[in-house]
Amino acid sequence: MPWKKKIGMPKVERETHELDAAGKPVGRLATQIATLLIGKHKASIVPNIDAGDIVKVSNVDKIVFTGKKWEQKVHYRTSNRPGGLKETLMSKLREDNPAEILKHAVKYMLPKNRQQVDRMKRLIFVK
């Protein structure tokens, strides 16, 4: 009986892209990663299907900020509680966890919808 067939979501073929972050500015690299995670580089993009690729980033500790951003820029995070706003200088975050800088930049370049979490899972940092 043909009306009982379930087609479902189409099968998505994901490629793996390996990027080297050494010497690249954070914003330029983050836009490149976000484009690959969303799947905008493919001709067959459909907004409701997450057809993006897997992105592996190496040498994250060698990313670059232009100007005096290492000393002046502040990374904010919150616990969503009163008084729960924490701030960390980029120079300190660079020593502790440099992948967090790029992860934060990519997250806020992705669309704020239910696919954002799945897209962020496909961002892998290689040492």
pLDDT, tens digit (0-9, with 9 covering 90-100), for 15-51? 999 999 999 999 999 999 999 999 999 998 888 889 9
Find the domain containing 119 and state its range.
16-65+98-126
CATH number at residue 53: 3.90.1180.10
How many domains in the chain?
1
Residue 90 within any structural domain of the chain:
no
Strand partners, 56: 18, 124
Does 38 map to a domain? yes
Instruction: Confirm whether 57 is domain-assigned.
Output: yes
Residue 11, in any domain of the structure: no
What's the pLDDT tens digit per position in 102-111? 999 999 999 9
* HSE-CB for 28 with a 13 A CA cutoff: 11
